[in-house]
């Protein structure tokens, strides 16, 4: 495989440079002195930002965008082999790297590399660690899969030997990484359009663990099924974490009026510090314990770890309060898997509010069909459920299901659930049925957040953005 070396900058072209992950990697190369070009279907805030950094961005994908100076081409999994730029790179026999392969190549240039994996919680835990590393003044380079206000976006360009990134399991992308520290937050059935089943997913996470450097550490959820079998034969050391069990876990958990937890951190059987988070939910207590374990392995001063965790206020679309309209609190969350939905709704239950309205947009037909019963059980935790149409993403409807199928499942459980096909209908329904003091939670990985934004734009109190 072609090896990217910071000491030898080459001209790199990105097919699909405007994606949240691709843009971050392009920015890192620009900072290291690489000439960077790229293409995307449309102009965006991310492409304009890259242009300001020095990239040349083409809008529309054409063979001539691959110039004579191009030496390496990077592409995303969404790029089809018939893409004209992809075809031109093949014709010219240029070195080609997938986004995941490039991420792995960049990681080789850092001695302290941290990769955060897991079916859920990657963005939040990566962001917690980002705050810890910055509090410790380690000057890290960071690539996160969401927008983190403290770094002004999705990437931070540091100058040290520390690199922090998310590690996505979809299409086995994370198998291109060889980190010093690898975190596995959880392993659930998801992305079943790629993986065969949970055993197949578990196998991929085991391969990720095998890629951790021998002198490094795997930080693993203590309740991972057959944990001894999963970790047997690994060359790295293993530390576990969890809410109530693990080398790093929490005791004496309490919540304030916003649902923010306070807990005592227990490290290897010893009660240590009292920590208060500014993000809600028991799942974030678990995420914080994983971040604490990584912090200790990296010899981060305990005071910096505490300061980092306590300064973290969340990332965009992770239980993000958008505002208040007519006394109704609008919160948005990216949750699109039953486990994530359950965690978010349990966090909402700790928020001192009236009724909880979950406005859910299922994400992909494959996931909705394969986890239909689990979705119904998770959504049943809300007081009221409003379902939008399935967000197709990369799929087409060939499975004969719809959000109304999920509505019928919910009604069988006794839930108050409605299906409304348009955002306008959903907005009008909420305005006529919600009461002051209620909490409306827009949820999903698609564009359902627009419902909350439209409600705020049309009503009062829209500047009340602080919980």
Q: Of the listed 85, 166, 340, 427, which one is catalytic? A: 166
pLDDT tens, residue by residue, 316-374: 777 788 899 989 999 998 888 898 899 889 888 877 678 999 999 999 898 899 899 99
For residue 11, the model assigns a pLDDT of 97
Q: Of the listed 122, 321, 322, 409, which one is catalytic? A: 122
For residue 78, the model assigns a pLDDT of 80
pLDDT tens, residue by residue, 258-288: 889 999 999 999 999 999 999 988 999 999 9
Tokens of 114: 């941290």
Q: What is the DSSP pairing of strand 270-276 with strand 141-148?
A: unpaired
Q: What is the DSSP pairing of strand 261-267 with strand 12-15?
A: unpaired
Neighbours of 196 (CB within 10 A): 9
**Could you say which residues of the chain have pLDDT below 50?**
461-467
Could you tell me the residue ranges of all domains in the chain?
12-99, 110-311, 320-458
CB 206 within 8 A of CB 174: no
Per DSSP, which regions of 338-462 are E strands?
356-360, 384-387, 417-419, 439-443
How far is CA 74 from its chain centroid?
22
How far is CA 320 from its chain centroid?
14
CA angle 93, 94, 95 (to 5 degrees): 120
Q: Which residues contact 89 (CB under 8 A, 6 or more apart)?
A: 13, 66, 70, 73, 96
For residue 88, the model assigns a pLDDT of 97
- Assess whether 166 carries a catalytic annotation: yes
Cross-strand partners of 155: 143
Neighbours of 200 (CB within 10 A): 13
What CATH architecture does domain 110-311 belong to? 3-Layer(aba) Sandwich (3.40)
For residue 34, the model assigns a pLDDT of 97
CB 330 within 8 A of CB 426: no
CATH of domain 12-99: 3.40.50.720
Q: Of the listed 123, 126, 240, 339, which one is catalytic? A: 123
- Assess whether 264 carries a catalytic annotation: no
Neighbours of 41 (CB within 10 A): 10
Rounded-to-integer distance, Cα 132 and Cα 181, Å: 15
Quote the DSSP letter at residue 298. Answer: T
Domain 320-458 has CATH 3.90.190.20: yes
The 3-class SS string of 197-237 reads CHHHHHHHHHHHHHCCCCCCEEEEECCCCCHHHHHCCCCCE
């Amino acid at each position: 495989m072609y090896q990217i070396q910071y000491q030898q900058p080459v001209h790199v072209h990105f097919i699909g440079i405007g994606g949240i992950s691709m843009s971050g990697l392009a920015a890192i190369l620009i900072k290291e002195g690489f000439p960077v070009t790229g293409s995307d279907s449309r102009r965006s805030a991310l492409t304009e930002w890259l242009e300001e950094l020095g990239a040349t961005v083409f809008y529309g994908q054409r063979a001539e965008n691959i110039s004579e100076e191009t030496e390496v081409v990077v592409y995303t999994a969404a790029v089809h082999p018939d893409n004209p730029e992809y075809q031109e790179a093949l014709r010219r026999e240029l070195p080609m790297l997938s986004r995941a392969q490039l991420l792995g190549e960049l990681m080789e240039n850092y001695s302290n590399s941290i990769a955060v994996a897991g079916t859920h919680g990657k963005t939040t835990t990566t962001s917690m660690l980002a705050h810890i590393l910055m509090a410790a003044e380690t000057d890290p380079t960071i690539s996160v899969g969401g927008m983190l206000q403290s770094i002004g976006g999705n990437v931070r360009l540091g100058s040290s030997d520390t690199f922090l990134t998310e590690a996505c399991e979809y299409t086995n992308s994370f198998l291109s990484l060889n980190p010093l520290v690898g975190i596995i937050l959880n392993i659930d059935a998801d992305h079943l359009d790629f993986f065969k089943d949970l055993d197949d997913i578990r196998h991929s996470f085991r391969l990720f663990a095998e890629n951790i450097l021998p002198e490094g550490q795997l930080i693993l959820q203590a309740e991972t099924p057959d944990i001894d079998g999963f970790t047997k034969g690994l060359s790295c050391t293993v530390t576990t974490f969890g809410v109530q069990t693990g080398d790093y876990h929490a005791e004496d958990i309490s919540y304030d009026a916003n649902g923010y937890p306070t807990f005592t951190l227990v490290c290897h059987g010893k009660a240590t510090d009292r920590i208060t988070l500014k993000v809600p939910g028991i799942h974030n207590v678990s995420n914080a314990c994983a971040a604490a374990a990584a912090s200790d392995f990296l010899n981060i001063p305990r005071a910096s770890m505490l300061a980092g965790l306590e300064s973290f206020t969340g990332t965009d679309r992770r239980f993000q309060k958008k505002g208040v309209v007519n006394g109704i609190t609008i919160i948005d969350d990216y949750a699109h898997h039953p486990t994530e939905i359950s965690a978010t709704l349990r966090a909402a239950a700790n928020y001192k509010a009236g009724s909880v309205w979950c406005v859910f947009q299922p994400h992909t037909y494959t996931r909705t069909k394969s986890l239909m019963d689990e979705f119904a059980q998770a959504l049943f935790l809300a007081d009221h459920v409003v379902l939008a149409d399935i967000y197709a993403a990369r799929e087409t409807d060939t499975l004969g299901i719809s959000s109304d199928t999920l509505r019928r499942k919910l009604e069988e459980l006794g839930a108050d659930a409605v299906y409304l096909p348009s955002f306008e209908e959903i907005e009008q329904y909420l305005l006529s049925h919600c009461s002051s003091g209620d909490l409306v939670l827009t949820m999903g990985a698609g564009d359902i957040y627009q419902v909350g934004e439209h409600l705020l734009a049309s009503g009062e109190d829209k500047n009340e953005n602080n919980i």
